[in-house]
Chain A
Amino acid sequence: MPTELESLLDKKNDNDFVGKMIVVSDSNADGSFLIHHFISQVTRDGHLLCLVSFTHSFVHYNTTGTKLGSNLLRHQQTGKVVFVDCLTNLFGGKEVLADECASDHVAFSTASNSSLLTDLYHTIYLCVKELMKNYPALPVCLVVDDCSLLLSLGLKVQELVNFVHLCHFLLCTTVGYCKKSGYFILTVHNDQNCYDEDEQLLKAHTLHTCDIHLHVEGLSTGYSQEVHGEVSYIHCFMMMMQLL
């Protein structure tokens, strides 16, 4: 499976995804296998990882990573992986100093009216800063799994969209803190047979921002025991780049 995924993604070099935003969406299927693949790939390529999870614990990712050939626990001990556990503690348990963040001229005040997302972004920012401070030459990857769950907490789509834009700005732009030496992988869930306007809107917003979109869905012909579904790969930015 990892070989087929790499050929699907057409990844030739370790830094192919640097500066890009990848959205993994799923509908009537579980797309978490892609996240586990990306996590193991990031650690194998020697990049830094900030993993923010609303769905699983660190033990789950470590166990799955071990099966895919990467040792997340060892990388965490060496300071190359930081795990923000939003499943049990939404603020990740890190002490956040607003002044320390504001001095880097990042638009915290404009992020959203939600203090929850502002604190979460503070946490992510400090984690990324700490990673880059320890290993300044390595690219940093932010993985957020699964941001559409925040809609269930009552957060508005606009607040989440601002949060996603901030994370994208932080990692994938030349004027952000990482100076485009990072990349951002985000999962969104939207079942097509359950019409959820907020989930659809969130997914559409993220797709308009992303560079690569991977969509996982079940088979249109129905359930099959041997074939679980299909994965579509869409390179959004290439639609503009083809004219070069």
Chain B
Amino acid sequence: ICPRAMSLLESLLTGEDVRAVSVQDSTHLNGRLLLKCFLTHWVERYPSIHVFLYDMEEHRWTNGLAQGIRERMVLHCGYSQHWCGEKDSDLLKDFSVQKCVEAVGHAPLQEVAIIIDSVSTLLLHHTLSHVIRSLKLLGSKVASLLYLVHSDLHDSHVMAELNHVTFTRILLKSQEPTDNCTGQRGSCSLVHCKKSGRVVKKDEVYEVSEGYQLSGREVDMIPIVATRRQDPAANLTFSVSLTSKEKSDRAKTVLPYVRPQQPASSGGQIHYQPDQSDDIDHSDPDDDLDI
């Protein structure tokens, strides 16, 4: 029995061939869920993971994460620094590559993974060009960069610019709780640019279970169960179909204003019944032509 091939989402979780990844969510499609799944898996791969938080305060974001995961990540809460008015260390207002690298500290950047939640809040306080440049530069310096974008907060131009600097983008399409309400499942579209230059596009479904463990598979691999088409006229109390006698009677019915078919003669014939007021001239109208 061949083991099931890893889905693209699962292979991204291992950190293999991952550079800059963007997760694009909207109002009721929670992208933070995938961020936490990536975090849970990446703590096993990367010696140092730094989370830059701009959307909410720390305890709200870490709610639900295992204690072991919390201890192994470093969280920089730009949200609290900004709204508390900390002028000396405001990672939101002073966002730049240099500030991020200073926050990371002495860890070698090639072994660091950075998660940003979210770029949409950065775009409220900085220009698009500054954010794009910073993301591009940061993505080239660190081992892996993962960031969240709320796609319904930006127009198509901004999204196109953001897509341009990312190597992998995950666009959430649907999300719902699982049947036992202990997890979430959903579907997403992935576009992944490999290091070889090849671009892979896939639609996948995923399921997140307790402990932010994610499993995914391609949409094409879902078995299609052939369903028998139900006859809509099967259970009616009246008949909507015709008996054979009714069909033959219908075929024999002569419709009004339809002439009975005559045997075809050579050429077409036009039958015209002139009225009393018709003045038909039988002479040739081209008699006076001298060609």
Q: Do A and B come from one complex?
A: yes
Q: Which chain A residues have a beta carbon within 8 Å of chain B's beta carbons?
A: 105-110, 158, 161-162, 165-166, 169, 173-176, 201, 204-205, 207-209, 234, 236, 239-244
Say whether B153 contacts A201, CB under 8 Å. Answer: yes
Q: How far is the CA of A169 from the CA of B150 in the complex (A)?
A: 20
A169 and chain B: residue at smallest CB distance: B83
Identify the stretch in B1-9, B25-33, B102-110 within 8 Å (CB) of chain A at 4 or more residues.
B25-33
User: In whole Å, how far is B57's beta carbon from the nearest beta carbon of chain A?
Assistant: 5
Say whether A110 contacts B82, CB under 8 Å. Answer: yes
Say whether B93 contacts A110, CB under 8 Å. Answer: yes
B57 and chain A: residue at smallest CB distance: A173
B63 at the A interface (CB under 8 A): yes
Most central of A165, A209, A241 by chain B CB within 10 Å: A165
Provide the residues of chain A in CB contact with B175, threshold 8 Å.
239
Q: How far is the CA of A158 from the CA of B153 in the complex (A)?
A: 11
Proximity string of chain B (25-48) to chain A, C-beta cutoff 8 Å, 1 when within and 0 when not: 011101011000000000000000
Say whether A242 contacts B184, CB under 8 Å. Answer: yes
Q: How far is the CA of A158 from the CA of B212 in the complex (A)?
A: 33
Proximity string of chain B (174-186) to chain A, C-beta cutoff 8 Å, 1 when within and 0 when not: 0101000111100
Say whether A109 contacts B85, CB under 8 Å. Answer: yes
B258 at the A interface (CB under 8 A): no
B77 and chain A: residue at smallest CB distance: A175
A204 and chain B: residue at smallest CB distance: B152
B124 at the A interface (CB under 8 A): yes
B119 at the A interface (CB under 8 A): no
Say whether A204 contacts B27, CB under 8 Å. Answer: yes
Q: Please name 12 further chain A to chain B contacts, defined as beta carbons within 8 Å, in addition to the given A161-B124, A204-B26, A204-B27, sorted by A numbering.
A: A107-B83, A107-B85, A110-B90, A173-B57, A175-B84, A204-B152, A205-B153, A209-B56, A239-B177, A240-B64, A241-B63, A243-B210
Q: How far is the CA of A169 from the CA of B79 in the complex (A)?
A: 9
Q: How far is the CA of A209 from the CA of B56 in the complex (A)?
A: 8
Say whether A207 contacts B124, CB under 8 Å. Answer: no
Say whether B83 contacts A105, CB under 8 Å. Answer: no
20 contacts between A and B (CB under 8 A): A105-B84, A105-B85, A106-B85, A107-B82, A107-B84, A110-B90, A110-B93, A166-B83, A175-B80, A175-B84, A204-B153, A208-B120, A208-B153, A209-B56, A240-B63, A240-B64, A243-B64, A243-B183, A243-B184, A243-B209
Provide the residues of chain A in CB contact with B83, threshold 8 Å.
106-107, 110, 165-166, 169, 173, 175-176
User: In whole Å, how far is B184's beta carbon from the nearest beta carbon of chain A?
Assistant: 7
Please provide the chain B residues from 155 to 193 with a CB less than 8 Å away from any CB of chain A in the complex.
175, 177, 181-184
User: In whole Å, how far is B290's beta carbon from the nearest beta carbon of chain A?
Assistant: 72
Say whether B212 contacts A240, CB under 8 Å. Answer: no
Provide the residues of chain A in CB contact with B182, threshold 8 Å.
242-243
Proximity string of chain B (43-83) to chain A, C-beta cutoff 8 Å, 1 when within and 0 when not: 00000000000011101000110000000000000001011
User: In whole Å, how far is A119's beta carbon from the nearest beta carbon of chain B?
Assistant: 17
Say whether A244 contacts B64, CB under 8 Å. Answer: yes
A105 and chain B: residue at smallest CB distance: B85
Say whether B84 contacts A162, CB under 8 Å. Answer: no
A161 and chain B: residue at smallest CB distance: B124
Cβ-closest 8 pairs across A and B: A107-B85, A169-B83, A207-B27, A239-B30, A204-B152, A173-B57, A175-B80, A105-B85
A244 and chain B: residue at smallest CB distance: B64
Provide the residues of chain B in CB contact with A204, threshold 8 Å.
26-27, 150, 152-153
A210 and chain B: residue at smallest CB distance: B27
Say whether A242 contacts B183, CB under 8 Å. Answer: yes
Say whether B64 contacts A174, CB under 8 Å. Answer: no
User: In whole Å, how far is B176's beta carbon from the nearest beta carbon of chain A?
Assistant: 10
Provide the residues of chain A in CB contact with B27, threshold 8 Å.
204, 207-208
B208 and chain A: residue at smallest CB distance: A243
Q: How far is the CA of A107 from the CA of B87 in the complex (A)?
A: 9
Q: How far is the CA of A201 from the CA of B166 in the complex (A)?
A: 24
Say whether A162 contacts B124, CB under 8 Å. Answer: yes
Say whether A242 contacts B85, CB under 8 Å. Answer: no
Q: How far is the CA of A162 from the CA of B175 in the complex (A)?
A: 29
Query: Which of B33, B124, B181 lies in contact with A158, CB distance below 8 A?
Result: B124
Provide the residues of chain A in CB contact with B55, threshold 8 Å.
208-209
Provide the residues of chain A in CB contact with B57, threshold 8 Å.
173-175
